Homo-oligomer: A and B are copies of this chain.
Amino acid sequence: MSVKFASRVQQMESSEIRELLKLTENPEVISFAGGVPAPELFPINELIQVTKEVLEESGEQALQYGTTEGFNPLREKIAKRMNKKFKTNFGIENILITNGSQQGLDFTGKIFLDQGDVVLCESPTYLAAINAFKAYEPRFVEVQSDDEGMRIDELESLLKTTQNVKFIYIVPDFQNPSGTSWSPERRKQFMQVVKEYDVVVVEDSPYSEIRFEGATPPSMKSMDEKGQVICLGTFSKTFCPGLRIGWVAAETNILEKYILVKQSADLHTSTLNQRNISRYMDSYDFDANIDKIKEVYKKRRDIMLEAIEEEFPKEVRFTRPMGGLFLWVELPEHMDARDVFTKCIKNKVAFVPGESFFPNNRKKNTLRLNYSNMPEDRIVEGIKRIALVLRDLL
């Protein structure tokens, strides 16, 4: 049968990362490709205990339909936590629980984007956000970034000259893929500029609590004078991704649209999983668990940077993230990271070529390395293998 799909389906393509990950499933491959947390840090025994308590005490509620907004005690904990960590001013009424922050990205597209509307974003930007927004057929306009974040002169001139900019999508903390974090000064300048426009800012912060060093800079939301910043958060990096619990935090005039969309999208997020996280936060020290994660990832980042410095040809540039899960590599301009990938996979080491992180102007000489998911000795060995290919190609 000839099936007629909607035009948006033609815009969407399978994530390159997803296809690449299939090549890296072989356990012999040292993979820096995924964006995957270290599973040895998951609080498995604690979750067994927590589930038992939740089901024994409130099984009938925990397995029943729940409200679209989410489990109130969890919403409240998230609001309080954000207020404390990021100097926001959220109440329970500002929080919607989603299936991971990916669902927050999808809903953002659904709520704001008519066909042809413009999304401003960093360059490079998060691949899965590009894919989520693409379903609503926008036009992407990339704003160049440097080591301190989005370039404000360029942002300003684009805001002045571009029609139908619906929102600016940013990942100011330890961005995926670049690993860079916006400087405090740049954040202030950014908020100064955007407040002159009726444009929404989507502050996606999956990694902000995974900071290894340095003071926490102000969140965009903490400087939001007119209620234009929407925050996306997740437990995937601070706890575990398999429960699929994230959230949207926004002013109620905006959040009510997210709630409406959530209701028709899947009614609500797993009641049991929400109650489990909430109970975990009651019974255990959530921050202590994050400290453990940071300690391990910091060590892995250090080892990866050290190995890169020793092994990579000096023409190759790379970022030095102060947190998060990724670092970003720029090869000499004539090189194509896909060629490097093809040779690397034969030598049983993998990463993600960077071009899919650019919605328009694909820089082929870039690649993303993840350091959170491999033990130390495999990191050293993996970097050696990549270096061998690079030296061979240069």
A242, B198: Cβ atoms closer than 8 Å: no
A267, B128: Cβ atoms closer than 8 Å: yes
A59, B44: Cβ atoms closer than 8 Å: yes
Least Cβ–Cβ distance between A1 and chain B, in angstroms:
5
A63, B44: Cβ atoms closer than 8 Å: yes
Least Cβ–Cβ distance between A326 and chain B, in angstroms:
15
Q: A138 — nearest CB in chain B belongs to which residue?
A: B6
Q: On chain A, which size bracket covers the interface?
A: 35 or more
Q: Mark A111-129, 1 if CB is under 8 A from B, else 0.
A: 1111001000000000010
Q: Is the C-beta of A377 less than 8 angstroms from some C-beta in chain B?
A: no
- A8 partner residues in chain B, CB cutoff 8 A: 110, 114
Least Cβ–Cβ distance between A250 and chain B, in angstroms:
10
A260 to B8, CA, bound (A): 11
Q: Mark A167-211, 1 if CB is under 8 A from B, else 0.
A: 000000000000000000000000000000010100000000000
A117 to B98, CA, bound (A): 29
- A391 partner residues in chain B, CB cutoff 8 A: none
Q: Which of A9-17, A82-90, A143-151 contacts B (4 or more CB under 8 A)?
A: A9-17
Residue picked from A4, A52, A136, A268, most chain B C-beta under 10 Å:
A4
Among candidates B6, B68, B242, B269, residue contacting A114 with C-beta atoms closer than 8 Å: B6
A247 to B166, CA, bound (A): 33
Q: A1 — nearest CB in chain B belongs to which residue?
A: B226
